Structure 1
Amino acid sequence: MSGFSYNRLGVALGALVLVGIGVGTGVVIGQRSDGAGAPAADGAGGRKPLYYYDPMYPDRKFDKPGPSPFMDMPLVAKYADEGGGAGAASGGLRIDPALTQNLGVRYATARMGTLGGDLNATAVIDYNQRDVAIVQSRADGFVQRVYDRAPGDVVAAGAPLVDLLVPSWGGAQTEYLAVRRTGDARLIQAARQRLVLMGMSDSLIASVERSGRPHSTITITSPIAGAIRTLAVRSGMSVPQGAALAEISGLSTVWLNAAIPEALAGQLRVGQSVEATLSAFPSERFTGRLTALLPEVSGDSRTLTGRIEMANRGGRLRPGMFGRIVFGGATTPALLVPSEAVIRTGQRDIVMLALPEGRYQPALVRVGRESGGQTEILAGLGAGERVIASGQFLIDSEASLSGVEARPIDGAAPPAALAPKPTAKMEPGR
């Protein structure tokens, strides 16, 4: 009896083992059948993938499924009826209206309006570099006096700068006076010409003729009125012929150097009038004339330097003063959107369109002038189209992750630099 019971127990255990093996085999076969049949089901339902992509790099497309070459995760299929791809090109990105309300999204409509023609820019006063005098020594000499002058001093025209002792001139003047006493006109003219060639001025030679005595110590004066920029001599120094003694910048006119944005430089013309206000004289307006637009653009601020020449009556305008300038211009009609609605990436400018049925799509635009919180749209947008004025950055990020392509400026194809990358050929697992 006991042997019979053990036999029945063994048979039962064996049956349970066979059932377990059968169930496990069925699960494995079912999994393989499901995996193998997934594409067939898609094909039967008409949902054929457009391409495959990595959600972390939605702009890279692959024609076969498999692991991502960028992240340790499988590629995701993109279908025509989903956001992005061909469907998104026309339908855009759909977002729940409740979500946009929570984000505080505000809208604006592109409209025709007028943009003020006045252009504003910051400016700084500088010396007029065309009104500069360099004072040099015309002969070897010794500095005897500098009249307590120092760089930064403002001097009048004819003001004394340096007393210079020139020994060689004293001997030449003595010979000239001796020749004059001979009465020979030809010899006198030749001796006088020699003094001129040595660097003596007509006024100095006339002074020697009147006094009948040589003048070996000469006073060098400022040829113009202005500020002493450099003074390279001091009492007791010896100076060679041609040495620069002083540099003087005139103050009758000054330059106002304005930092003009690169995008606005094309609207200016040399010769037009300019109005300026200075921080030192906030209640006054000064006028000048644009004399030059320098050819070099600053790489950091993307601005050009506009040079405005202004009269400096009374010497009140001093180099280094800060101010603002206004370029007068005509008021012109333009298609306008709020400046905050334009997303500037450095490579392109886009706005986020608000389409019907809660859909959104980025659109490439070409912008122009900006004034009073409004930006001119030159291309890529039409009057009456709605754009997002607040919260567009979050929606633009979602559109990028979903692979929604921006509407091109010409409405047909984006520029080559912004065209989507071609589909990459990649074997799964590589």
Structure 2
Amino acid sequence: MNVLRDKRLGVAMGALLLLGIGVGTGVLLAPRLDGVAGEAAEGGGEREILYWYDPMIPNERYPGPGKSSMNMDLIPKYADEGGTNAAPGVRIDPALTQNLGVRYATARRGDLEGDLSATAIIDYNERDIAVVQSRADGFVQRVYNRAPGDVIAAGAPLVDLLVPSWGGAQTEYLAVRRTGDAPLIQAARQRLVLLGMSEGLIASVERSGRTRNTVTISAPTGGVIKTLGVRAGMSVAQGMTLAEINGLATVWVNAAIPEALASRLGVGQSVEVSLAAFPGERFTGRLTALLPELAGDSRTVTARIEMANRGGRLRPGMFGRITFGGGSTPALLVPTEAVIRTGERDLVMLALPEGRYRPAQVRIGREAGGQTEILAGLSEGERVVASGQFLIDSEASLSGVAARPIGGTAASAPAPRPRSAP
């Protein structure tokens, strides 16, 4: 009996001991589990996830992880990376911008140089063109070894024409002259003029008393032969163009002027021209016209300058630069390289606090000395990206960041409704 009682007592003591150990373990483990759960909850709340998206399709938003419509893994969009509840713009790691060599500039007030410079090309003066035509049907007997591009003097022979119809008319005129009837002689002479004979040819027939049905056509003005449409042995019709001669006494200098600067120019203004063919030498001319048509690809207006071509040194096709004089004017300036021209609008990339960036639409004016005038869209003292802005602009476009419009802050577009993850 004593032995049995001792065994029961031992079992009871063991059970109490195990119960105590279990309770103690639970008391010890409970605080540790609570701490882990608290840390997990706290860790999950460090960065708030707004939605999930595919960087290739930033407009598609999903409520949770998964695959996009392009079967790409979704990534989270955090609240501190931008969104409807965050400051506008896109945030880029400062270490990345440093590796890219991003440079900054500040919009400042300054004096913009008044001199306007533009590229220019010398061209023919198309107001100084002579067209040589045949005055009667005939045959080409000689072209005096002429060819397009030849430079000839005024009065130089171009072509000899045989005109059979003139021979008979001249014979009749000489017969009428022998009658001594003045009114009849005048009528016969007028008939020769109407047939296309020159006064010099008629006078030669009168002096010699012999017919001349072969006539030499000469250049009415000096210059370069632009076109020559006859060769020996050809037949020509009345009114046919035999040659075109462009004078070289004056030339045109055509310059491409940006449309924003065209309003500064006026017809009659004096212009200086420097040519690559004559380094260190300056030529002067006069602005004769601003052509009404705007070149759509380059957004420039053609300015036409007329210059005297002394000695024929200026040749069409020569390249140079023109300079229009003017005084300096105050303006809001940024480096020209900071302006992003898309063709539809002009942008600069604003450098905001905390490493954020946002594009801003601007209206630009004149350019000179590597500086561009900002007419609207930017305030003095604002920082812009002067180098590397194209990469930042691409990142902003992928993130759906709207450009700040001229005259205000871009209205927040309603966020697309999240789609269910596939």
Q: Mark the CA change 1:78 to 1:195 in structure 2 (over 3 Å): closer, same or farther.
A: same
Report the TM-score when normalising by structure 2: 0.79
In structure 1, what is the Cα distance between the partners aligned to 2:340 and 2:231? 61
Say if 1:297 and 1:112 are closer, same or farther in 2 by CA, change over 3 A. same
Equivalent residue number for residue 70 of structure 2: 71
- The structural deviation recorded for 1:348 is 3.6
Aligned to 2:366, the other structure's residue is in SS state: strand
Partner-residue secondary structure (3-state), 1:208: helix
Q: How far off its partner does 1:262 sit?
A: 4.2
Residues 229-244 of structure 1 mapped to structure 2, 5 A cutoff: 229-244=226-241
Distance 1:236 1:98 in 2: 81
Give the C-alpha shift of residue 77 in structure 1: 6.5
Is residue 88–residue 404 contact of structure 1 (8 Å, CA) maintained in 2? no
**Are the structure 2 counterparts of residues 187 and 344 from structure 1 closer, same or farther at C-alpha, using a change threshold of 3 Å?**
closer
Match of 2:383 in 1: 386
Deviation at 1:110, TM superposition (A): 0.9
Post-superposition CA distance 1:351-371 (Å, at most 9, x none):
232333444333222222222
1:2-51 deviations in whole A, cap 9, x for unaligned? xxxxxxxxxxxxxxxxxxxxxxxxxxxxxxxxxxxxxxx9xxx9x99766
TM-score (normalised: structure 1) = 0.77
Deviation larger for 181-190 or 263-272: 263-272
Equivalent position SS for 1:82: helix
Question: Which residues of 2 match residues 120-139 of structure 1 at below 5 A?
Answer: 120-139=117-136
Assess if the C-alpha contact under 8 Å between 2:62 and 2:421 holds in 1.
no
Report which stretch shifted further, 151-160 or 81-90.
Answer: 81-90
What are the superposed Cα offsets for residues 353-391 of structure 1, whole Å, 9 maximum, x if unpaired? 233344433322222222222122121111112223234
User: CA RMSD of the aligned region, Å?
Assistant: 3.4
Equivalences, count: 383
| Aligned: 1:428 with 2:399 | no
Partner of 1:82: 80
CA shift in 2, pair 1:288/1:337, >3 Å: same
Q: 1:71 to 1:260 in 2, by over 3 A?
A: same
Residue 71 of structure 2 aligns with an amino acid whose one-letter code is D
Aligned equivalent of 1:148, options 145, 159, 166: 145
The answer on 1:369 being equivalent to 2:366 is yes
* Whole-Å separation in 2 of the counterparts to 1:105 and 1:383: 21
Q: Which residue of 1 aligns with 2:341?
A: 344
Contact 1:263 1:369 in 2 (8 A): yes
Deviation digits for residues 236-256 of structure 1 (CA, Å, limit 9, x no counterpart): 333222222221111111112
Alignment partner of 1:175 is 2:167: no
Amino acid at match of 1:115: L
Distance in 1 (CA, whole Å) between partners of 2:237 and 2:339 is 64
**1:350–1:362 CA contact under 8 A, matched in 2:** yes
Paired residues for 1:277-426 under 5 Å? 277-413=274-410, 423-424=415-416
Counterparts of residues 10-25 of structure 1 (less than 5 Å): none
Hey, what's the Cα distance between the residues in 2 that align with 1:291 and 1:373?
Answer: 29
Q: CA deviation at 1:198?
A: 0.8
How far off is 1:306 after superposition?
A: 2.6
Distance 1:76 1:348, change over 3 A: farther
Describe the shift of the 1:112–1:209 C-alpha distance in structure 2 as closer, same or farther (beyond 3 A): same
Q: Residue 108 of structure 2 contacts residue 380 of structure 2 at CA under 8 Å; is this kept in 1?
A: yes
**Alpha-carbon distance in structure 2 between the residues aligned to 1:242 and 1:399:** 67
Contact 1:276 1:286 (8 Å CA) reproduced: yes
Are the aligned partners of 2:402 and 2:410 in contact in 1 as well (CA < 8 Å)?
A: no
Note if contact 2:224-2:247 (Cα within 8 Å) is conserved in structure 1. yes
1:217-237 Cα deviation digits (max 9, x unpaired):
222111111111222223333
1:86 maps to amino acid: T
Please state whether the residue corresponding to 2:191 is helix, strand or coil: helix
Gaps of 5+ in 2: 1-40
Change in CA separation of 1:413 and 1:106 when aligned onto 2, cut-off 3 Å: closer
In the alignment, the residues of structure 2 paired with residue 55 and residue 163 of structure 1 have an alpha-carbon distance, to the nearest angstrom, of 78
Partner of 2:220: 223
Corresponding residue number in structure 2 for 1:12: none
Evaluate the alpha carbon distance shift between residue 189 and residue 386 of structure 1 in structure 2; reply closer, same or farther with a 3 A threshold: same
- Amino acid of the residue matched to residue 221 of structure 2? I
Q: Measured at CA, do residues 263 and 167 of structure 1 come closer, stay the same or move farther in structure 2, by a change above 3 Å? A: same
Relative to 1, partners in 2 of residues 1:314 and 1:294: Cα closer, same or farther, differing over 3 Å?
Answer: same
Unaligned runs of 5+ in 1: 1-40
